[in-house]
Structure 1
């Protein structure tokens, strides 16, 4: 027997922690962006509306979770997923063997909330949210939402089998140019997440100074990452690298690794070292390490920036679904 509850306060959301992690580990389409390490700090930092998260239980086991909130506008309230904007993938969680009944229970529960549109953007292919159906809901056809260029990983850490020759030559030139300025060191940083974030924030702001200043110029985004990263590190999900040239830390890479997939989330570099391409050096290192860890894909996440395709990445699209209430419901 399945039962549901609507969680409308932060304490209730945080109390789900151990059950949430267990469900997340068993949900096939889950990414780091659906983990409590990511979404609880997001809600704690931003809380842009009224919390309306649906939890589905079978006995004492959490078997479904739709982390949602209600955004009230003059045109009508919208039901949206936690993590929107900063998350490249969004979805609900459920056990695969009971996905259909769990989806129906989630849909039935959200009908008790006053909204005019329920929107799930950035759903991954095969996402659990794509299968939600209910007689009292009308849904639009799932449509492409955002391109996430992905590099398929083959071969070994030399990158010979998966990265185009031109990009490998550029990487060798970057190494030589960097070496002319001093010793080059690319090291993982996981023992001190806050110090890593200090470097990332400094370098990201330097990179984007005068060009919109970058996402980390928002103090709330900084606070979110300062809460989330230590938890991601504790769960072995984060991959953080710094590159130093001649003793100066000039580049930072912030990514994830989960279930055979590496994710390149955020980076920054000192513009004074642009000729040495510290960003490329870090991505090359991240790809090599992902191969060593058995990853099959290197996901550059949302955005069609040209540099992603120079590594050999190919677009994979997320999907968006919108539900409205059936007439008379």
Structure 2
């Protein structure tokens, strides 16, 4: 863990009414600011689908606690240029702020318009520091290049950084988009014999007549419920993330996915064999990558075809069709993912201190993370953080 020494925050030069910042506690703010937050997301290139308005609004509706919203916003000449959707809470006995939906999200961040980055971050920092009642802001899964790193760089008090989850990414490949183009680019990176076996498995899928289609946005809620039914059947008799079996998660995911699908930020893919639904997966579509969030399949399907390969082909094709760089397998560097030779990207946990107890909180967080990693078997253990979504391609 690294610690950033405290420094003084200089007053913004030429401060004027061009800038305004506030922290909203009224839950109606999430509704009132919907259009502004959607617009800001589009102007925030480092944001992931877990910062999309539909994701955080749905999560708050099913998981949020009244009175705990802390939505920090910054405007420049009236236009929203930064936002930190946060919630107050108590962790390990310490009052903290955490990103909304963090427990069901693979990445955490703030929204930031890079055109106004310096001033927006400065005013966001001041607004957060002026908000009373918390000792630390805990950002558990921050990607490299995220806006949260800019906030940490301007934070005038102590900050702590520690490695978090490893995420694996696969490129969609060059050339014209098509059902096989993306997977061909991935297989070309494998040893010839391994690639040949994979291509034979793909031919087997095609010969069997298994089809894949994207569900229309107005049918997404029902498709998500069907996906979760398949997910529960697939994991029957084995340890499953208990949150995935609860009604609030089901309702959150259906609502969020429906809204995101309408905006082109999510897709539910269904796989049918002789007209029968045999598998389905939810793909979140970000600015740079598509993220394989959750899937379900009939238990006996895996004995007949390579389910992970089947889904990976479609997800790569989706990434290419949407002109994204590739597919993120999200958190976890399990060995079965490594066979694709993906690029590894390490998330970081950033804790921003406001008051003296933050040091004790950061120390406790580091100790608990270390013990959790040891229980899960060392490097890569962060993939199993409580509350995290099971990534696609989970064998």
TM-score by length of 1: 0.91
Report the secondary structure of 2:331's partner residue. coil
Report the secondary structure of 2:330's partner residue. coil
Q: Any conservation in 2 of the 1:261–1:299 contact (CA below 8 Å)?
A: yes
Which whole-Å deviations, capped at 9, do the CAs of 1:79-116 have from their partners, x for residues lacking one?
10111121111111111132222222222222222112
> Displacement of 1:153 after TM fit?
2.7
Mapped pair 1:309 → 2:338 = yes
Mapped pair 1:282 → 2:346 = no
Mapped pair 1:222 → 2:250 = yes
Mapped pair 1:30 → 2:37 = no
C-alpha separation in 1, matches of 2:144 and 2:230: 33
Which whole-Å deviations, capped at 9, do the CAs of 1:114-142 have from their partners, x for residues lacking one?
112111121111111111255652112x3
> Displacement of 1:269 after TM fit?
0.8
CA RMSD of aligned residues (A): 2.3
> Displacement of 1:247 after TM fit?
2.6
Give the direction of change, closer, same or farther, for the CA distance of 1:22–1:195 in structure 2 (3 Å limit): same
Q: Any conservation in 1 of the 2:47–2:287 contact (CA below 8 Å)?
A: no
> Displacement of 1:41 after TM fit?
0.5
- Paired position in structure 1 for 2:139: 120
Mapped pair 1:47 → 2:73 = no
Moved over 6 A (4+): none
Q: What aligned pairs does 1:85-164 form with structure 2 within 5 A after superposition?
A: 85-111=103-129, 112-132=131-151, 133=153, 136-140=156-160, 142-156=161-175, 157-158=180-181, 159-163=183-187, 164=190
Report the secondary structure of 1:193's partner residue. helix
Which whole-Å deviations, capped at 9, do the CAs of 1:158-200 have from their partners, x for residues lacking one?
33332335664444444455567x5321122124102311321
Which whole-Å deviations, capped at 9, do the CAs of 1:252-286 have from their partners, x for residues lacking one?
11102233422111111111111222332122121
Give the direction of change, closer, same or farther, for the CA distance of 1:189–1:327 in structure 2 (3 Å limit): closer
Farther-moved stretch of structure 1 (152-161 vs 237-246)? 152-161
Q: Any conservation in 2 of the 1:242–1:282 contact (CA below 8 Å)?
A: no
> Displacement of 1:213 after TM fit?
3.0
TM-score by length of 2: 0.77
Q: Any conservation in 1 of the 2:224–2:268 contact (CA below 8 Å)?
A: no
Extract unaligned runs of 5+ from structure 2: 1-17, 359-395
Extract unaligned runs of 5+ from structure 1: none
**Alignment coverage as a number of residue pairs:** 327
C-alpha separation in 2, matches of 1:74 and 1:261: 35
> Displacement of 1:222 after TM fit?
0.5
C-alpha separation in 1, matches of 2:164 and 2:353: 18
Give the direction of change, closer, same or farther, for the CA distance of 1:273–1:327 in structure 2 (3 Å limit): closer
